């Protein structure tokens, strides 16, 4: 349920960022908020769902519409939005498995290392 909610919030905020990206404040607010939300979400599927939800409207806006034209133009603001979306997606993908517990190294003298003979006598 949390994953679906994160996907929906990502889509809605991605639509808002796509529509407002031509204004400097819209670009700053959109990408800045997306990065903050991504950092706030726990690693894993929820974070990935938000990033995918954000990237879908940006990608759709960058593709040609049936009537011609684009929502995301090939100018500095448009390329910045696409690059920011890519960074968002890569950051989410890089942290998908970071919530798994890591095995703890064995304590000294417990037989974890064959060369470890325990404390010196």
Give 77 or 35, the one with higher predicted confidence: 35
Does residue 113 surpass a pLDDT of 60?
no
58 within domain boundaries: yes
16 within domain boundaries: yes
Q: Are 7 and 52 in contact (CB under 8 A)?
A: yes
107 within domain boundaries: no
CA 99/CA 101 separation, integer angstroms:
6
89 within domain boundaries: yes
9 within domain boundaries: yes
State the residue range of the domain holding 24.
Answer: 2-63+72-94
Residues 6+ apart with CB under 8 A from 108: 116, 118, 119
103 within domain boundaries: no
Total tally of structural domains belonging to the chain: 1
115 within domain boundaries: no
Does residue 105 surpass a pLDDT of 70?
no
pLDDT grade, residue 32 (50/70/90)?
Answer: confident
Does residue 116 surpass a pLDDT of 60?
no
Write the burial class of residue 65 (CB in 10 Å: 0-12 exposed, 13-18 middle, 19+ buried): exposed
Which tokens hold the place of 106? 């064995």
**Residue showing tokens 């929502």:** 71
84 within domain boundaries: yes
């Amino acid at each position: 349920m949390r994953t679906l909610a994160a996907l929906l919030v990502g889509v809605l905020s991605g639509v808002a960022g796509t529509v407002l990206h031509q204004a400097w404040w819209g670009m700053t607010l959109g990408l800045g908020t997306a990065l903050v939300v991504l950092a706030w979400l726990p690693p894993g599927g929820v974070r990935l769902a938000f990033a995918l939800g954000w990237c879908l409207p940006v990608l759709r806006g960058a593709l040609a519409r049936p009537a011609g034209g684009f929502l995301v133009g090939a100018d500095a603001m448009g390329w910045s939005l696409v690059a920011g979306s890519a960074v968002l997606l890569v950051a989410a993908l890089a942290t998908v498995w970071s919530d798994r517990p890591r095995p703890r190294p064995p304590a000294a003298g417990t037989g974890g290392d064959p060369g470890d003979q325990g404390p010196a006598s």
